Amino acid sequence: MKTTEWRQDSEYVALVSDLLAMPEVQKLADYTQHHHSNRLDHSISVSYNSYLIAKKHGLNTRATARAGLLHDLFYYDWRTTKFNLGSHAFIHPRVALRNAEKLTELTPMEKDIILKHMWGATSALPKYRESFIVSLVDDYEAINEFFGPAQLKKFRRWRRISLKQRILNQLEK
């Protein structure tokens, strides 16, 4: 997905500008997320694309945009740092939630979005449709970022159709 389009979307920017101005959020640019992206670009991309879907379906755009932006708010290299308490998939949403709570007040929905964004790899079911959206968009972005532009063309169309269908299935439940 396009990475700079969000800058022209004033409605989106108004929802996240206070968070984007924080050094704790900007610091995410120092971390590689997947092969072709840093963690800040990844977080903005997940946030913005989730926001667009939430908006289209008349859902909570503020919670989706803000929690989407904060969903990976952790400061370690997940490829090298290992934990005794559980897998990266289990631990990092909890770390991100704790870090996010230090920056801003979070609604129950925003907490659920951050905490459940690894749904699929972790078992706790999201409570809100907004949480499903962020989780699905996160999967999609991870694949895009991993493959990079060259290989991506082959996968993009198939993934877009597949993602859309999965989101629609969840929204219908």
Amino acid at 46: V
**DSSP annotation string for 96-128:** HHHHHHHHS---HHHHHHHHTTTBTTB-PPPSS
Minimum CB–partner distance for residue 167 and Fe ion (Å)? 16
Minimum CB–partner distance for residue 169 and Fe ion (Å)? 21
- Within residues 129-148, the interface with Fe ion by CB under 5 A covers 138
Minimum CB–partner distance for residue 24 and Fe ion (Å)? 16
Nearest of 132, 121, 53 to residue 86 by alpha carbon: 121
The count of residues interacting with Fe ion (CB under 5 A) is: 2
- Within residues 54-73, the interface with Fe ion by CB under 5 A covers 72
3 Cβ neighbours under 8 A, 6+ residues apart = 41, 44, 45
Decide if residue 110 touches Fe ion (CB under 5 A): no
Nearest of 98, 4, 11, 9 to residue 44 by alpha carbon: 4
Question: Which CB, 42 or 129, lies closer to Fe ion?
Answer: 42
- Within residues 71-90, the interface with Fe ion by CB under 5 A covers 72
Q: Where does this chain bind Fe ion (CB under 5 A)?
A: 72, 138
